[in-house]
Amino acid sequence: MRALLLLVLLLLPAVLYGAAATPARPVPVVVVVLDELPLGSLLDGRGRVDERRCPTFARLAREATWYDRATTVGDRTIQAVPALLTGRYPRPGAEPTRADHPRSLFTLLEGSHAQQVHEAVTSLASTEAAGGLRVSGGDHLGRSADPVDALRRFTAGIHNAPGPDLVFLHEVVPHFPWRYLPSGRPYAAADAPFEYGRPAVARWSDDPWSVYQAHERHLRQVAFADRLLGEVLSRLRAIGLYDDAMVVVVADHGVSFRAGGNRRRLDLANHGDILPVPLFVKYPGQRVGAVDHRAAESVDVLPTVADVVGVSAGPVDGRSLRQPAVDRAVKTAFDRDDRRFEFPSPVAVETAPARSARLLAACGARADLVGRRAVGADGADEGVLEEAGAGLAPCWVRARLRLASRGAGASVAVAVNGIVRAVVPVRPSADGTCALSVLLDEAAFGPGRNDVRVYRVQDGRMSRVRCGEARVSPLQFHHGASGFGRRGR
Ligand SMILES: [Zn+2]
């Protein structure tokens, strides 16, 4: 009797999700891999998927199984994506190629599934996938010139072939460079720096404000990535592929926002930012969401696909998520130097609001003036406002300021059309200049004419920073007669 009960329990998930042990027609498989997306960036302050920032992921949480303790096994794309595709931990020196990964999702389903593949960084798929729509990969060191365009072009071409399909999509979204607002409108050029005037860095500066700003930019791009993912899932629904397919949505690794810390390199301080990743699996026929707290790792994805499709995964390091959970006591991951780390499970995740609050508290930014009217006469401070590039949203306000005095606890307010939209702590360098960099919401700007001004805030009083030399595109900022910038343009 107990044996029978156990058998029923084991079969129950398969019955619920409509996946028989030996399906008559092989199950279509869709795997979407996003890049540089830590789990915490999806979450609200209570640890749930944030409905406002990430409505697509929130819907996935309602319809799919969320493995909320899933972690990746490598801090680099060229380790982490092959691990997803092979079910194996990264091997020292392995290239992200088919030659170095002869067994993968692509070979597993080669005989049974027509393959539609877009690999942005790796090249594990056959270059001659049978019936494939498009196979890209090529130089794994290169990237799509425009990841968003590449993702959208691939999405538009996803089709429902007569036989079962494997659709695999990996693009470097929402990966740095951070340049998109949630709407998808760019506010910065493709080579935009992490921080004002600072190119791509492996390690953050000690200034929490600049890290806070980078985090804000990351979160906006995450919101845009959610929209792009929504376009992919809409396409699957439109062509009738979604319901019957096994759909996996996962990210290859996260990213860390800690002043003075490593941005991406795995270490003991940032592993909670790098390793936990979103992992959602919508099983064939599944309509109701579930949360599975097991200690999942990214190497479990391939054996799970094999399990659902009904083929042998072969020798792998992962375990099928369809089988009863055998919890891992530790999570395994490898850094870019092939050093093996083990962390107790579960790995703690910092939510996006908690991150923002931590960074803000460290830099002493004040929010009490935001939303108030900006008032103040011209002061002794000067500055140069940067031009927003042609065709870009004017939301990223940057200026180089020369401050007449360096008062302790001083800050700078940025006002749009007379309303303070941000207050930025001032960190003057030895020569008295300081960089102002703040990303404002699109909603702060009206159509057409916008008046942007910078104020020094000191001892509770505001005085205007004279930015007379600003070169500002009139398409981006329109200055009133008393505003800064070139007048009469
Ligand atoms: Zn990556």
Dihedral angle sign, alpha carbons of residues 126, 160, 35, 388? positive
Q: What is the pLDDT of residues 281-327, one digit of tens each?
A: 999 999 999 999 999 999 999 999 999 999 999 999 999 999 998 87
Q: How far is the CA of 7 from the centre of ligand 1 (A)?
A: 40
Q: How far is the CA of 472 from the centre of ligand 1 (A)?
A: 35
Separation CA 86–CA 102 (nearest Å): 9
Q: Classify residue 444 by its DSSP letter.
A: G
- CB proximity list for 27: less than 8 A, separation 6 or greater: 19, 164, 244, 245, 246, 284, 308, 309, 310
Residue 279 has a pLDDT of 98
Residue 420 has a pLDDT of 95
Contact criterion met (CB below 8 Å) for 299 and 83: yes
Residue 127 has a pLDDT of 59
Q: How far is the CA of 76 from the centre of ligand 1 (A)?
A: 6
Q: How far is the CA of 82 from the centre of ligand 1 (A)?
A: 11
pTM above 0.85, yes or no: yes
Q: How far is the CA of 275 from the centre of ligand 1 (A)?
A: 12
Task: Please work out, in degrees rounded to the nearest 5, the angle formed at the alpha carbon of residue 284 by the alpha carbons of 289 and 133.
Answer: 120
Q: How far is the CA of 265 from the centre of ligand 1 (A)?
A: 12
Q: Where in the sequence of the chain do the CATH 3.40.720.10 domains occur?
A: 14-353
Q: How far is the CA of 251 from the centre of ligand 1 (A)?
A: 8
Q: How far is the CA of 77 from the centre of ligand 1 (A)?
A: 4
Q: Which residues of the chain register pLDDT less than 70?
A: 1-24, 126-144, 197, 365-366, 406-409, 468-489
Residue 411 has a pLDDT of 87
Residue 138 has a pLDDT of 36
- Which tokens belong to 246? 């096994």
Q: What is the pLDDT of residues 119-135, one digit of tens each?
A: 999 999 965 543 333 33
Q: How far is the CA of 79 from the centre of ligand 1 (A)?
A: 9
Separation CA 354–CA 284 (nearest Å): 35
Residue 134 has a pLDDT of 39
Q: How far is the CA of 17 from the centre of ligand 1 (A)?
A: 31
Residue 358 has a pLDDT of 94
What is the per-residue DSSP string for 157-173? H----SS-EEEEEE---
Q: How far is the CA of 443 from the centre of ligand 1 (A)?
A: 31
Q: How far is the CA of 80 from the centre of ligand 1 (A)?
A: 7
Q: How far is the CA of 236 from the centre of ligand 1 (A)?
A: 24
CATH topology of domain 366-466: Immunoglobulin-like (2.60.40)
Residue 63 has a pLDDT of 97
Q: How far is the CA of 96 from the centre of ligand 1 (A)?
A: 12
CATH topology of domain 14-353: Alkaline Phosphatase, subunit A (3.40.720)
Residue 145 has a pLDDT of 77
Q: How far is the CA of 322 from the centre of ligand 1 (A)?
A: 26
Q: Where in the sequence of the chain do the CATH 2.60.40 domains occur?
A: 366-466
Look-up of token digits 């409509």: 18
